[in-house]
Amino acid sequence: VQLQASGGGLVQAGGSLRLSCAASVRPFSRYAMGWFRQAPGKEREFVAAISRNGANTRYSDSVKGRFTISRDNAKNTVYLQMNNLKPEDTAIYYCAADSNAILLTVVVDHSRYDYWGQGTQVTVSS
């Protein structure tokens, strides 16, 4: 199982980025997906999660209203649209897949995830 995250980069505060995570898992619709991030010297934290069918989503308070998670099961890809970026959003962003979630569940707990991508760096300058 491979998760390949991409789309990170350097952006000014107030800018936008869209992260993508392409999954080799089959069928992709069997996996709940999530995004987490880790800033230097800090623990990995939850960012956003989406249920297997995309019907349910959840966000951390720090990104709610600015980030949007979505998925395209036909393309085996989950996305994280990040708008109005702030310097405190600077981190390595990881996508993760949970093979045990039921259809409508969103998974917030990082320990529930079976598979992790390699991460993509997001740097927001002030």
The amino acid at 44: R
When pLDDT is cut at 50, 70 and 90, the band that residue 106 belongs to is very high
- Average pLDDT of the segment spanning 71-88: 97
**pLDDT at position 96, please?**
97
61, with CB counted inside 10 A (0-12, 13-18, 19+), is exposed
